[in-house]
Structure 1
Amino acid sequence: MRTFPIKNTIGLILISLSLIACNSSIKISGKLEGAENKETKVYLIEPGSLKEVAASFFGKVIDSAVVNSDGYFKFHNLPKNEGPVLLEIVLKQPGRSPKYLQTGDPAKANYMPVIWQSGVPLKITAKMDEFQKSFAIEQPSEINKALLDLRDINQKAYQTYLAGKQWQIEDGSQLLEKEHAILQYQKKLIKFADSTQYLIPAMVALRWVSPEKDYERVPEFLVNQCNKWKEQQPGHPWVEQLCKVSKPSNLPVLVGDVFPNLRLPMITKDTISLKDQLGDKVTIIDLWASWCAPCRKENRNVLVPMWDEYHDQGLQIIGYGLESDESAWRAAAERDGANRWIQASDLQGDDAPFLKRIRVRTIPANFILDDKGVVIAKNVHGKDLMDLVERYIKRKQPGKL
């Protein structure tokens, strides 16, 4: 039987204990300010797919920790992945599931995404009543700095464009104003995602753009992100998931696309080829309805004045009514003055074939086309639409740039 000297055995034990001590320091820990409730708990959630990022009730709970009376907590059950992993640290809300995330007002968000890299401890601090807003990491990595920057952008954009705003949307009168504000908010997150060098923060930004996963108004954003990351990180499962969602067959007609040359049934009972009706300089495809208050307002205050001023200079408007009642459609077009330009409808209401072909579900909506039928802009309304048409027509006039 072979034996080892006692000195060597003690040395091996000391080395083992040292390694255990080092491993035990590799964790996520933090201090929560204002944690007076003994039942306060924080959870660690790992999203398993792109759609689970920043989404309530999704992802896998991999650990939990009770917050001590002095506010401290520690997580120990962490992923063993070699590469960076996105985790969500969640402050559990009373009476709610551990996987409940407040995804409305960022100032009230009870979770924060972080990147965990195996072997690199994370030390964090946050306040109970402003968890995400106050969340800080001691000596964050560059990728975690990117997430904190995104958090700041999200907080500021929400406060600037959406916080405390009240719109009269019951009658639809301020629906376009609300949509405009949401778009301005989204643009700040989109700019971050387009410029960052880090995939995972970009995907968090993508999910914050629309927690409901509704990208109908910003489909170009999905396509750009797919193109960017399939080149930089091909094969990443989240990139593959993103590119599947951003297939053209899943999205409305994009800026830069040639608008489909469809045949439309007109209010006069004729049918037209859309391509044959393009304006000499610019065409507006306007999607509206007699029951849509902001559509009616746009007819009277924007489209009629533009038609009167620019139709002879090369402006065409083609209206498509999401209608089922022909008499209501005709009356609305006549009352608004929208019978000046082409009006078409399949009179099939929400089952309208035209909207299905161009993959649009929401009105008011519009597409602005050049003289070749290429989409140069979408969903531009009010003064912005008037300015765009004016600039484009003047730019296209002979002798003008």
Structure 2
Amino acid sequence: MACNSPADISGKLVGVNDEGVKLYLIQPNSLQEVAASYFGKVIDSAVADEDGYFEFHNLPAITEPVLLEIAVKQPGKAANYLNNDDPTNSNYMPVVWKAKPLQVTAGVDQFQKTFSIEDPSEVNYALLELRDIRQAAYENYLAGKQWQVKDGSQLLEKEHAILQYQTELMKFANNTEYFLPALVALRWVSPGINYERVPEFLVNQCDKWKKDQPDHRWVQQLCQMSDRGNLPVLEGDFFPDFELPMLNKDTLSLQEQLGDKLTIIDLWASWCAPCRKENREVLGPLWEEYHDRGLQIIAYGLESDEATWRKAAERDGATKWLQASDLQGDDAAFLKRIRIRTIPANFILDDKGRVIAKNVHGEDLTELVKRYLQKE
């Protein structure tokens, strides 16, 4: 505040009760650092005065627009701590700086939610729009929810809600014409950089932006993340063939066991509560009704003990369909080949072995099978 030169970014914190509230200007230096705690470089700091006013002066010399993050210091946290747990109380906001002064306003307690920019550029308006989409999606699908996941009973419900939240952000990234806001959306989809459930999104974003900005290093990093060799089998791909050891001691080629019309590749385990529930309440009824109409189910168990595996399959009535396992737990070659670490998981294949859907469970899986076989 002692600097007399014009401020590059200035603003007002609303709701400041005490002098000394500190703000930081953070520059992510890689795609992985965007919206990530403890990684971005702090390039300037400011202290709000008693009326909440603050200024940043030490911005980088640039020739291209740059993504920055303005953050309010959180008690007991590092300067580059960013709260991603709850957008309502998030302490930071990304902005695009183009070497022209920015004037901003935000509440000290709900910084991201209340953040505004005076006369925003189109790209910053897109970031504000993304912020609103994120906030609404969080309130619709995640806010206030309490899932019983210790015993696994509501794990799928939680995953479904998270996917609905992520879908709103992915829609924005897929539809926007603005590069940097799209990458913020991508990082907000998974601040922990886990895209196992939505790998197609990474591939689509790489394909989109490498045409528009092929030399940008963040695009290059994005395309490294979306290398198909590092991702689970994608929708539209042919599921790889594999020789699988079966519960009945046979070794069968997966490709030779495909259903006449539809195949469910189900990844499960005896210790996985939602998997066991799916066996009894979904896969069992589907098998009884549709196996003679062209449905095949091939289950792969993440098991290390044959007796435990057999007992669980028999108890669930799951020995009616094909059961396979290398009895190597989650270290099995099959899992490494299809690059899956999280269960429950499934792949829905057509009669040629092409993946037409993934990770569809419960009533949604029942409806998918019903519609597909009726269409056929």
Bucket of the pairwise TM-score, normalised by the shorter protein: over 0.9
AA at the equivalent of 2:48:
V
Match in the other structure for 2:31: 50
CA RMSD of aligned residues (A): 0.9
User: Which of the residues 225, 231, 237 maps onto 2:205?
Assistant: 225
- 1-side partners of 2:368 and 2:44: how far apart? 53
AA at the equivalent of 1:73:
F
- Are 2:24 and 1:29 aligned? no
Match in the other structure for 1:125: 105
Match in the other structure for 1:302: 282
Residues 6-53 of structure 1: per-residue CA shift (max 9 Å, x gap): xxxxxxxxxxxxxxxxx9435100000111222211110000000000
- Are 2:185 and 1:205 aligned? yes
- 2-side partners of 1:362 and 1:196: how far apart? 30
Name the SS for the 2:195 alignment partner: coil
User: Which of the residues 121, 126, 151 maps onto 2:131?
Assistant: 151
User: Which of the residues 286, 289, 314 maps onto 2:269?
Assistant: 289
Unaligned runs of 5+ in 2: none
AA at the equivalent of 2:215:
G
Aligned pair count reads 373
Contact kept, 8 Å, 2:89 with 2:109, in 1: the verdict is: yes
Name the SS for the 1:197 alignment partner: coil
Match in the other structure for 1:90: 71
AA at the equivalent of 1:293:
A
User: Which of the residues 68, 75, 83 maps onto 1:102?
Assistant: 83
Contact kept, 8 Å, 2:7 with 2:56, in 1: the verdict is: no
Unaligned runs of 5+ in 1: 1-22, 397-401
- 2-side partners of 1:380 and 1:196: how far apart? 27
- Are 2:220 and 1:240 aligned? yes
- 2-side partners of 1:352 and 1:262: how far apart? 12
Once the two structures are TM-superposed, the CA of residue 367 in structure 1 deviates from its matched residue by: 0.2
Match in the other structure for 2:341: 361
- Are 2:295 and 1:315 aligned? yes
Match in the other structure for 1:181: 161
Runs of 4+ in 1 over 2 A off after TM superposition: 23-26
Match in the other structure for 1:11: none
- 2-side partners of 1:177 and 1:26: how far apart? 48
Match in the other structure for 1:327: 307
Once the two structures are TM-superposed, the CA of residue 95 in structure 1 deviates from its matched residue by: 1.9
Contact kept, 8 Å, 2:173 with 2:183, in 1: the verdict is: yes
- Are 2:115 and 1:135 aligned? yes
Residues 214-254 of structure 1: per-residue CA shift (max 9 Å, x gap): 00000000000000000111111000000011001110000
Name the SS for the 1:354 alignment partner: helix
Contact kept, 8 Å, 2:7 with 2:55, in 1: the verdict is: no
Residues 151-181 of structure 1: per-residue CA shift (max 9 Å, x gap): 0000000010001001110100100000000
- 1-side partners of 2:209 and 2:63: how far apart? 21
Contact kept, 8 Å, 2:104 with 2:116, in 1: the verdict is: yes
- 2-side partners of 1:79 and 1:324: how far apart? 55
Distance of aligned partners of 1:137 and 1:186 in 2 relative to their CA distance in 1, 3 Å threshold = same
Contact kept, 8 Å, 2:293 with 2:373, in 1: the verdict is: yes
TM-score by length of 1: 0.92
AA at the equivalent of 2:30:
S
Residues 348-367 of structure 1: per-residue CA shift (max 9 Å, x gap): 11212111110000000000
Name the SS for the 1:253 alignment partner: coil
User: Which of the residues 60, 76, 79 maps onto 2:41?
Assistant: 60
- 2-side partners of 1:108 and 1:130: how far apart? 5
Name the SS for the 1:113 alignment partner: strand
Match in the other structure for 1:261: 241
- Which has the larger Rg? 1
AA at the equivalent of 1:294:
P
In the TM superposition, 1:389-400 aligns within 5 A as 389-396=369-376
AA at the equivalent of 1:305:
P
- Are 2:352 and 1:376 aligned? no
Match in the other structure for 1:4: none
Match in the other structure for 1:15: none
Once the two structures are TM-superposed, the CA of residue 139 in structure 1 deviates from its matched residue by: 0.3
Once the two structures are TM-superposed, the CA of residue 185 in structure 1 deviates from its matched residue by: 0.3
The percentage of aligned residue pairs carrying the same residue is 70
User: Which of the residues 385, 390, 394 maps onto 2:365?
Assistant: 385
